[in-house]
Amino acid sequence: MRHPLPGLGLALGITWLWLGLVVLVPLAALVIRPWELGPAGVWAVVTEPRVLAALRLSFGAALLAALVDMPIGLLIAWVVVRYRFPGRRLLDAAVDLPFALPTAVAGLALTALYAPNGWLGAPLAALGVKVAFTPLGVAVALAFVGLPFVVRSVEPVLRDLARDAEEAAATLGATRGQTLWRVVLPALGLALASGVALAFARAVGEYGSVIFIAGNMPMVSEIAPLLIVVQLEQFDYAAAAAIGLAMLGLSFLLLLGFNLLQRRLRRGLA
């Protein structure tokens, strides 16, 4: 039967209007605006040492944070799905906190916590580790905002994972460790990887939770989004747009490469 349901035209019309006005036209401005500087001008803006240092920090700390989130997220997803224990529901609900907590609040909270006189900052300082107002602080904030992406990507796959493969492995004499490593982990691999990619993508552009804890020292702990703000404050729209475009372009390339890698992995598994 051809669709007797009405409303496609109206729904699509509203959708494209909404998408076009709110997302596509503004993003077009971002893509077009930098080029009034000319290709050489754009290159000069994004290869300025301060900008390069900021891009390196934003992408490096985001990658580090996403990799740290991987084992933690896997652990939380695992115990929430597989075990029954007091506090499980609380754990499950609390995972979403970074989604719901305003980023500025997260930034303030982490700064208070990790400042040299904070609950965690003081003992760490005694050990000689400085977190707040250093690049490490940036990574801590980014790990915080990225964690739910890993947990929520792994959880549904783990929940739907049939137990018979594990039983078969056990019957065939595999130890529990071998089963986990050879059977369970490969099955979770793709979900885990896409969770890490989501956490990374979110962390690269993160602003609110970072600027309080970062200290924002040029060349050291200044993130790329902050440089956009700095350029805007000097009314240099084209340079601000150029940095924004560079961030988007780099993220896009990284995620594209990652998707290709993932596709290969999937083919290898099939």
Partner 1 sequence: MNPAIGEPRWLRWLLCLLALAVLGVVMLLPLAAVFTEALRRGLPPALAALADPDALAAVRLTLLVAAVAVPVNTLGGIAAAWAIAKFEFRGKRLLVTLIDLPFSVSPVISGLVWVLLFGAQGWFGPWLQARGIEIVFALPGLVLATIFVTFPFVARTLIPLMQAQGRAEEEAAATLGASGWQIFRRVTLPNIRWALLSGVLLCNARAMGEFGAVSVVSGHVRGETNTMPLHVEILYNEYQFVGAFAVAALLALLALVTLGAKALLERLGGRRLAGA
Of residues 83 through 122, those in contact with partner 1 by CB under 8 A are: 83, 85, 87, 89-106, 108-110, 112-113, 118-120
6 part of the interface to partner 1, by CB under 8 A? yes
Candidates 1, 40, 127, 162: give the one binding partner 1 (CB under 8 A): 1
CB of 247 to partner 1, least distance (A): 6
Long-range residue pairs from 187-191, CB within 8 A, at least 24 positions apart, any chain: 187/157, 187/161, 188/74, 188/154, 188/157, 188/158, 188/161, 189/265, 189/269, 190/157, 190/262, 190/265, 190/266, 190/269, 191/153, 191/154, 191/156, 191/157, 191/158
CB of 24 to partner 1, least distance (A): 7
Decide whether 48 or 166 has the Cβ nearer to partner 1. Answer: 166
79 part of the interface to partner 1, by CB under 8 A? yes
CB of 270 to partner 1, least distance (A): 21
The 49-78 site mask, x for binding partner 1 (CB under 8 A), equals: -----------------------x--xx-x
Candidates 199, 206, 214, 221: give the one binding partner 1 (CB under 8 A): 206
152 part of the interface to partner 1, by CB under 8 A? yes
Best CA proximity match to 50, nearest among 231, 218, 192? 218
234 part of the interface to partner 1, by CB under 8 A? no
Best CA proximity match to 261, nearest among 190, 186, 183, 182? 190
Two tokens, residue 48: 């300025």
241 part of the interface to partner 1, by CB under 8 A? yes
Residue 170 sits at the vertex; the CA angle it makes with 164 and 264, to the nearest 5 degrees, is: 65
- 246 within 8 A of 34, measured Cβ to Cβ: no
Tell me the window of 123-131, 188-196, 201-209, 257-265 that interacts with partner 1 (CB under 8 A). Answer: 201-209
What CA–CA distances, in Å, run from 144 to 8, 170, 209, 255?
41, 36, 9, 21
Contacts of 267 (CB under 8 A, 6+ apart): none
**Interface residues for partner 1 in 120-139 (CB under 8 A)?**
120
208 part of the interface to partner 1, by CB under 8 A? yes
